[in-house]
Amino acid sequence: MTIRLRPAHRLPSLIAAATLVALAGTASGAPHPKPHAAARKPAAAAQPATTTDANGVSVPVLANKAWVLMDFNTGQILAGSNADEPLPPASLTKMMTSYLVEQGLKSGKLKPTEPVTMSQSAWCEGGKHGDSCMFVPINTQASLMDMLRGVVIDSGNDAAKALAEHVSGSESAFAAQMNAEAARLGMTHTHFENSTGLPDPNHKASARDLAVLAAAIIRNSGEYYPIYAEREFTYNGIKQGNRNELLYTDPTVDGLKTGHTEEAGYCMTVSAKRNGMRLISVIMNADSKQARADQTRVLFNWGYGNFEEATPVQAGATLATAKVLYGVAPTVTAGVAQAWTLVVPKGRAAAVQTAVTLTPGLEAPIAKGAVIGKVVATAGGKPLGEAPVVALAGVERAGFFQRIGQRVSGWFSK
């Protein structure tokens, strides 16, 4: 059974919902005691090159190996290039390192003040190899929260290795934990060999997967996410600036991570929130710090300039009434368990239409929240996505004689 509903009006975004349609198809470096040039001075506003996607949307063309722009609330990919190609992620790797530590803190398995030892194998040797370092002296200890800041703000390889050894006993065991979590999050084009992102032929991640990881940090590590926006951190008398260039030029940016190796080029995962809409950008293998910052600005300006969020279906609203066989009630109301949010081209929110399809032959008992159909959203005849329709109330199974009566009544009604 298909029921047509009136066009949905523009409504505020309430919660995240999965979407099925896309609109387009550093581990090393010297410490930064202060913002570098790209952070201090925004690039000139040049018009980026664009191309047109299958939906007629003008999409930026960027000079890198891969990029993606994701809406946080919905998980919807607004645009991307080579989004699923596994590439060296450099220090973007450390997002998974910090995420696992944050989740350990959240669960209580780890404590903010517990001491973490800087072992010989984790030590940076004073940064003489040009590594990004927190500069914790060898065989000394720092608090777990200081080490976490050393990873997120300083991009310290020493801090990442020390935390890996502290959590799992060895960096290789921690890498196994990283891969298990990546699989759980649905990062299907990613494989980790270490906690830092230092080059390894088997150490790869895709732009889309890194956006998924960034979204997980924002969603699941809320108490610790503000660390990603901290501009500097001082440890052992050494003050280092956050390597995220956009933190210094864009007040809507609040994370996440940069990376660079010769193999990976200049990489960047950034999140910004404007007028309640959060976007996540991933740049991989840009030519310079300036390029990765400029390209991220282009993506945010393009995304916020061309898209808006719409909520075509509110939580608990009755979308349809489904017939129920052999229940104490003959029908059950149907709707969505959570408000359903989509991202649509600007100006098209009011044009979104929805259609509900219910599962035929529903029989009691039906539990509240049981999936009994789906709702599909379209705009201008083009599909935007779909969401499960659930029973808004439970229906118990009728007694034996009541069921017999319903069966007999059904024969005569035919």
d(CA 363, CA 326): 6
Judge contact between 61 and 271, C-beta under 8 A.
no
Q: How far is CA 81 from CA 19, 35, 254, 265, 305, in A?
A: 19, 29, 24, 16, 19
d(CA 5, CA 11): 16
**Owner of token pair 């200049």:** 266
pLDDT of residue 368: 94
Q: Report which secondary-structure segment, H or E, holds 281.
A: strand 277-286
Region of 325 on the Ramachandran plot (φ > 0 left; ψ -120 to 50 alpha; else beta): beta
Catalytic residues: 91, 94, 155
CATH code of the domain occupying 37-307: 3.40.710.10
Supply 381's token pair.
């005849």
Helices (H), 129-263: 144-152, 157-168, 171-185, 207-220
Looking at the chain, which residues constitute the CATH 3.40.710.10 domain(s)?
37-307
Looking at the chain, which residues constitute the CATH 2.60.410.10 domain(s)?
2-15+311-413
**Owner of token pair 């800041």:** 149
Judge contact between 75 and 18, C-beta under 8 A.
yes
Supply 94's token pair.
């450390």
Taking 50 as the pLDDT cut, the residues of the chain under it are 1-45
Judge: domain 2-15+311-413, CATH 2.60.410.10. Answer: yes
pLDDT of residue 140: 97
The angle, 0 to 180 degrees and rounded to 10, between the axes of the packed helices 157-168 and 171-185 is 90
What is the value of pTM for the model shown? 0.81
The torsion angles phi and psi of 27, rounded to 5 degrees, stand at -75, -20
